[in-house]
Structure 1
Amino acid sequence: MAEVPFIAIEGPIGIGKTSLAKKLSVHFDFHLLKEIVEENPFLGKFYDDIDEWSFQTEMFFLCNRFKQLEDIETKYLNENKAVIADYHISKNMIFAKRTLQADKFEKYEQIYHILTKDMPVPNMMIYLHAGLDTILERIRNRGRDIEQNIKPSYLAQLAQDYKAYMNEFELLHPNIPVIRINGDEKDFVRHQDDLEDIIEHVNKHLKNATVLK
């Protein structure tokens, strides 16, 4: 039986994950899973004072993403319905390692592993990355008030953390294709050719995995 497509898009804040997920979900007619961001009541306080509000922020994201993926597995993947998501729950560890103090990270990590041990792993990953200038420009362009106080140094470090995370992901999951897209070179929102190039890459991997009917 063919494996039902479950594609996750990852990358730093503001890189365009949701925009790309929406476009690919329309093209392939896959269910779109969007992460909860602005609904997090701690996020604005977090960007103002990371040390004070990191644990509350990360726990909110973890619990909500767990519930979302649980529902997706039951209602879609188990019913052989393809899904494309603008995140995967494993990203939580990127942020937690960077923002939580050692004692709270230890508690958080224990909860994370309990919740995610049976969660579905995507069978394709799209990794969006770009330089700091591009990331800052895209954050300004989308104009979310809660993101305007993010420190550039935090974004730069986060981009490095994502790079290390994706390299580790490829080592741990050698059979899961990772499509790397340089946001400094491609703008799939403004340029249709860039979007079509990404679609072509995704389609090739879907066919190679014999997941298309």
Structure 2
Amino acid sequence: MKYNFVTIEGNIGAGKTTLAHLLAKHYNARLILEQFADNPFLPKFYESPKQYAFPLELFFMAERFKQLKEIIQQNELFQSVTISDYLFIKSLLFAKVTLPEDEFRLYQRLFDIIHQQLVQPDILIYLHAPVTKLQSNIRKRNRPYEQRIPDEYLFNIQETYTHYIKQHNTKTLFVDASEADFLNNEKHLQAIIEALDKEYPEGQHYISLP
């Protein structure tokens, strides 16, 4: 394994957490998982997005920062391989979609203050799947508050992610996850493991699953 800090990202339902668990088991790695279930505003947001978007995104940013900062302060990040199922920048990307312009500007000011305090991953794995696949995965995992997520919202999140990745030089494995089944198809997981054994220059590198 060429990298100490690997982050997995993707849209809602892309399979981030499943892949993170499997990679952490394979590499006997430290696992950082987003604590989304602890956000009290999440069910309320899906019922009334305009009313609850700002507290939702603020809570997520604070919790992500607290989690990553604690690990860095304990020097745990550099003691072994670390796998995370979120990138801190996702706070800003989701806020860009959910918040009106004036609230987003305020949010971005707060984000910029704390973002510079965090260590960035050595490599990003981005799982890209069409909205139909995302909706299918969302139905399967059956979280009640997610069942009415509009296609338009997922599409906007997708566009924001891909625009960010193309505009930044982060070392990224851009994975076509249209037919991905990391849990039940060993070849799909093995393709990611083999990709992580290679050195890459900065920028995007496209991975197709067998």
Do both proteins adopt the same fold according to a TM-score greater than 0.5, normalized to the shorter chain? Answer: yes
5 Å-filtered alignment, 1:73-112, equals: 73-77=72-76, 79-112=78-111
5 Å-filtered alignment, 1:196-207, equals: 196-205=190-199
In structure 2, give the amino acid aligned to 1:56. P
Q: Aligned residue pairs: how many?
A: 200
Instruction: Name the % identity.
Output: 35
5 Å-filtered alignment, 1:156-195, equals: 156-170=155-169, 173=170, 177-195=171-189
1:79 to partner: Cα distance: 4.6
In structure 1, give the amino acid aligned to 2:198. K
Aligned to 1:32: 31
Residues 100-141 of structure 1 show CA distances to partners (whole Å, capped at 9, x for unaligned) of: 112211111111111111211001100001111111001111
5 Å-filtered alignment, 1:147-158, equals: 147-158=146-157
Partner SS state of residue 112, structure 1 = helix
- Deviating runs (4+, > 6 A) in structure 1? none
TM-score (norm 1): 0.88
* Bigger share in helix: 1
TM-score (norm 2): 0.89
In structure 1, list runs of 5 or more residues that go unmatched. Answer: 209-213
Partner SS state of residue 9, structure 1 = strand
After TM superposition, the structure 1 stretch with the greater mean CA deviation from structure 2, 57-66 or 41-50, is 41-50
5 Å-filtered alignment, 1:115-126, equals: 115-126=114-125
1:203 to partner: Cα distance: 2.1
Residues 31-50 of structure 1 show CA distances to partners (whole Å, capped at 9, x for unaligned) of: 00001111100001111221
Q: Please, what is the CA RMSD of the aligned residues?
A: 1.8
1:70 to partner: Cα distance: 0.3
After TM superposition, the structure 1 stretch with the greater mean CA deviation from structure 2, 159-168 or 14-23, is 159-168
Task: Output the CA distance in 2 between the equivalents of 1:125 and 1:46.
Answer: 28
Structure 1 contact 76–83 (Cα < 8 Å) conserved: no
Task: Output the CA distance in 2 between the equivalents of 1:4 and 1:94.
Answer: 25
1:79–1:130 CA distance, 2 compared to 1 (3 A): closer
1:13 to partner: Cα distance: 0.4
1:78–1:201 CA distance, 2 compared to 1 (3 A): closer
Aligned to 2:204: none
In structure 2, list runs of 5 or more residues that go unmatched. Answer: 202-210
1:160–1:13 CA distance, 2 compared to 1 (3 A): same
